[in-house]
Amino acid sequence: MYDAKDIILFIVPLLFAVILHEVAHGWVAEKLGDPTARLLGRITLNPIPHIDLIGTIILPGLLLRIGSPFLFGWAKPVPVNFGNLRGGRRDMALVALSGPLTNFILAILSSIVFHLTLSPTDPWALFSRISVPLHLMASFSVQFNIVLMVINLLPILPLDGGRIVAGLAPLPVALAMQRLERYGMLIVLLLIASGMWGYIVRPFVHFFRQVLM
Q: What is the pLDDT of residues 2-58, one digit of tens each?
A: 556 667 787 889 889 999 999 999 999 999 999 999 999 999 999 888 988 887 788
Residue 94's nearest CA partner among 172, 24, 16 is: 24
The active-site residue out of 22, 34, 91, 160 is 22
Residue 205's nearest CA partner among 159, 152, 166 is: 152
Which one is predicted more confidently, 169 or 191? 169
The lowest-confidence range among 46-50, 168-172, 186-190 is: 186-190
Is 181 a catalytic site residue? Answer: no
98, pLDDT greater than 60: yes
125, pLDDT greater than 80: no
Residue 164's nearest CA partner among 92, 116, 104, 213 is: 92
Return the domain boundaries, the chain.
4-212
